[in-house]
Every structure is written in structure tokens, then in C-alpha cells.
Structure 1
Amino acid sequence: MTKRYDSLGELHRVYWRWRLALFPEDGTVTVGETTARFTVSTRSERRRAKRLGGERRVIEMFLDELSGSEVVWDVGACVGTYACLIARRLSSGCVVAFEPDPTNRSRLSENLSANAPTERWRTSAVALSDTDDESVLQSEFVEAGGGHHYLSDHRDGLPIEVRRGDSVVASGYPAPDMLKIDVQGAELQVLRGLGGLLDGVDTIYVELHTEKSKRYGTTTDEIEAFLREEGYSLTHLGDPTNGRPGAYLVRAHR
């Protein structure tokens, strides 16, 4: 049955690539007072442009907190749903967008280039974690805009670099003032890898995954406890409105 659904899903993806090639759709998105434009060439990109991952209200909250001079790290940037809108909102700061999947990272750079000058953004191919190592990236399917990537010990995935956040800063990237994290269950590893950088971060928006965090031997309760131990107060922002099971959004602030 799983193989049948996989085949149907691939047929739908092929259909949408064909349809969007023949009948292009406008990828313009407005959240509050901020507008960005995204390339729409796949079913996944179309969904993101239309639904914003079910996070429109949360994105608007994030944008409203920006003064314009911050360094924002978008950890798990995909094709730039958050990063492009953030870059559009910044006046002197920059967004650093981490995306290890090469298909999404290529589109991420394209979207950022279309929305903001180069001094407002940087991208990185590393996956943030709590070690400096190598790993393998796997996904349920690969197309621009597709998510659900995760780190694995299997050999049949994509070899990638894994880095601690404090190691990334030591290599020349600017330290973050604000964070957005969506890494399909690896949130605790990302937070631990920031080390002392957390002292300079007052606000974190994080998507937590009750089932996917088990891949990494953690739980959402552990992640929330870690943030509280670091001095953050947590506000639960509810589930994404597009009906993704097992995911919920949290704002951590101090």
C-alpha cells in the first residue's frame, strides 16, 4: 500500500511540474506590510507560496519583532519562506539561511536574490547540530520546496557537513540576534550546538515535532525544558494551520 501511495504522490508531482511549466502561477506573497516573490515550479513550492506552511500568523509575529538591524538565523530555511520575507524587512541586518539540501538551497539562493540585495543575506550548506562531523541527509522525496529532511546513519542518502553553531561563527559567519528553527526533530541538537551564542539571542521561534524528535533520542518536553533552563519564557503558538500532524510552534523569549 505504501508503494502505491508513493507512486500516486510522484504522479501528482509530475503533473504539477507539467502544469506550472505550461501555466505559470504568481508566487507573490504578502504578510502584513512585507511582500516577497517566490519561484513556483513544483507542487511543493505552490503549496508554500499559497499556505506559507500554515504559519502565516507566526511569520507576521516574527516580522513585527524586527527593528531592521538584526542578524537572523533561519535554520532549516528550505526555499526561503521565512528568509525572503525577513530579508525584505531588514534595513541593515542580514539573514543567514541554513539549508543542507542542494535542490532547496539552489532555489533558496534564487529567491533571496530576487528579493533582497546580497548584503542582506547569506546561505550555508551545513546542517546545524551539537557536533562538528559528517552525516547523511535523507528525505521522503526530493523536489524544490519539499521538506521532511532528516539526518540518518544510512549510507544511501546525501553526505553533508554537520556543524555546531558556535563553530559556524568561528568560521566567519555573524552571530545571531534572533533564531527561527525548523529541523524536523533535531531542535535540541541545534540549540545545544549554539553554546554561548544563546546568551546573545533574546527571541527564538521554533517548530517542535512530537514524533520526529524521537529520531534523535529526544522529546519535545526535553527541548522545552532546555529552553527554560537557558532562561527563556515559552509561549505556545498552536499547530500549523495546514494540518501537519505532530508539529506545533513555540516562541521562546527573555
Structure 2
Amino acid sequence: MGLRSIVEEKIRQSRLTPLQKEMERILKLPRFTVDLAHVFEKPFKFHDTECFVNTYNEIFINEIYHFKPVPEKDVILDCGANMGLSVLYFARTYPDHLIYAFEPETEIFAILKENVETFNLTNVRLFEKAIWNKEETLEFYTDKGMGGRVVMSYENQEPTRIDTLRLSNYLTDKVDFLKIDIEGAEDTVLRDCKDKLSQVGSFFFEYHNDVNKPQTLHELLNMIKDIGFHYYIKESGVRRSPFIDTNLICESFDMAINIFCYK
């Protein structure tokens, strides 16, 4: 690097906020590095650099999970809690709510649990289980970042075994907000919950389109409309040029779409 480049980089660094500097530091680490992020008043543990930065921006910068509380409802269900950024956001933004957080992957659950303890989130209850349409034991595959799933496999990976809980059993008239980010299992779970979803204040799910299966987003959107909700659609992971791109988000997902459901 020449002297001019060095000077320009120092000037650029001097203009960065502490948050920007920390994010740059994290992104320079190899993926799947376990480290501590210094973006809150206490260190937050993460297991994947890219996962942390993308999720932090979505949740704390863009506030995609910010909702208007409904009187007499005081429960939040976080299905697919991962390392706990969403849990921390919910616990701080809605301190009078009780948060149930579900995360089946053992290594990531341990990090989630540590973060909950570090930040002393007394309004959080943790479950090391996957959300599903029944209680059973299933094979579980993971990309070690954001993509743990029960509905599809990764090549050359031996699955682990995880226990599931039926989401429908947790849907009561006390649920103010439901978040579902379960990597392709959302279709199965939402259909099973159809008769109880109407009593929820509002809910969010990420739809994952599997290129090897029939598309079902239109069916889910009709279901949402039928139970009295308005929906808003926002892209999460997509192809830049859908007519010609063949890139997949993972083994068989060609797009991920955020669906916001409210009355």
C-alpha cells in the first residue's frame, strides 16, 4: 500500500463511528469464527461473522421486528432464535413481555443461552427444540450459520437428531407477536396453526422457496388474508436477475422473502 493509500485509509477510519469500526473488524474475521461483538454495553457472543452483521443490521438498525403492542397481550414467541439478537431486541424493546425463544441447534443454543445470561434477560424462557407441527424427533441439518433445518438435507452431511415442539400448543390469546424463521419448515407449521393464528396480535415469517417443490407462497398469503390479516412483503435473500440467475441461497432455496402480517 502506497503512502497516499495509507493516508486515505487513516482519514476514512477517523470518520467511522465506533459501531462501524467494530463491524469492519468483525467482517475481517473468517466466517464461522466464534468471537465477541462490542456493539452493546456488554460483549455479545456470536458464532458466524456474516450472520452476526447481517442480523444486527436487520434487527437493530432496520428494526424489522418492531411492532405495536396490543393491550392484554404480553407474550412473544421467537421461533428460530439463533444466537439471540432477536431475543435481546425483544427483551429490551418490550420489557413487560415474556419471550419464549426456540433454537434446536446445540452449539448455537449454548451461545444463545450465554448471551441471555450475560445480559440478564429475566423475561426470556429458552427451549432447545425445533418448532414443528407435532412433537417428535427429526433429523436436523445445518450450515453452521443461519440455516439449520429439518425439511431438507445438505450434501455430504450426517444429520443430528433434535426434538420438536408443536407451535400450535403455544398459540394463545396472550401472544402479541410471533416470529417464525425456521428455514423452510414455515409452510408446514403455519398450516398446522391456521385455526389459532387469528388470535395473535401480529406475526412475521420468512418464506423459503425450494426449487424442488411446488411453490406455496400464494397459498400461505391467501390463508393470511382469510384469517383477517393484512400482509406486507419484503425481500430477504433473492436472485438479482431472476430470469437468468441460477444461484441458490443454499442447497435448494432460490429466494427468501420476509412476510409481515398485521391487522
TM-score by length of 1: 0.71
Q: Distance in 2 between matches of 1:132 and 1:159?
A: 13
Partner in structure 2 of residue 250 of structure 1: 259
Whichever structure has more helix as a proportion of its residues is: 1
Partner in structure 1 of residue 223 of structure 2: 226
State whether residues 184 and 209 of structure 1, in contact with CA within 8 Å, keep that contact through their aligned partners in structure 2. Answer: yes
Q: Distance in 1 between matches of 2:196 and 2:109?
A: 25
Per-residue CA deviation, residues 17-54 of structure 1 (Å, 9 max, x unaligned), is 89x68xx653425xxxxx885214x4x1x223322266
Tell me by how many angstroms 1:221 deviates: 2.2
Give 1:16's aligned amino acid: P
Query: Within the alignment, does 1:109 sit opposite 2:113 as a pair?
Result: yes
Moved more, 59-68 or 185-194: 59-68
| Candidates 49, 70, 76, aligned match of 1:72 | 76
Per-residue CA deviation, residues 100-121 of structure 1 (Å, 9 max, x unaligned), is 1111111111112222432x10
TM-score by length of 2: 0.69
Q: Identity over the aligned pairs, expressed in percent?
A: 20
Q: Cα gap change, 1:197/1:37 in structure 2, threshold over 3 Å: closer, same or farther?
A: farther
Superposed, 1:70-149 pairs within 5 Å as 70-118=74-122, 120-140=123-143, 142=144, 146-149=145-148
State whether residues 128 and 163 of structure 1, in contact with CA within 8 Å, keep that contact through their aligned partners in structure 2. Answer: yes
Partner in structure 2 of residue 184 of structure 1: 183
> The residue matched to 1:73 in structure 2 has which SS?
strand
Structure 1: any 5+ residue segments left out of the alignment? 1-14, 30-34
Q: Distance in 2 between matches of 1:163 and 1:37?
A: 31
Give 1:182's aligned amino acid: D
Q: Distance in 1 between matches of 2:208 and 2:229?
A: 19
Query: Within the alignment, does 1:237 sit opposite 2:234 as a pair?
Result: yes
Tell me by how many angstroms 1:57 deviates: 7.5
Give 2:85's aligned amino acid: T
Partner in structure 2 of residue 210 of structure 1: 209
State whether residues 27 and 49 of structure 1, in contact with CA within 8 Å, keep that contact through their aligned partners in structure 2. Answer: no
Structure 2: any 5+ residue segments left out of the alignment? 1-28, 241-248
Q: Cα gap change, 1:206/1:168 in structure 2, threshold over 3 Å: closer, same or farther?
A: closer
Q: Distance in 1 between matches of 2:57 and 2:182?
A: 16
Q: Distance in 1 between matches of 2:76 and 2:52?
A: 21
Runs of 4+ in 1 over 6 A off after TM superposition: none
State whether residues 138 and 149 of structure 1, in contact with CA within 8 Å, keep that contact through their aligned partners in structure 2. Answer: yes
Q: Higher Cα Rg: structure 1 or 2?
A: 2
State whether residues 36 and 85 of structure 1, in contact with CA within 8 Å, keep that contact through their aligned partners in structure 2. Answer: no
| Candidates 162, 165, 181, aligned match of 2:164 | 162
Moved more, 174-183 or 94-103: 174-183
RMSD, matched Cα: 3.6
Q: Distance in 1 between matches of 2:36 and 2:149?
A: 30
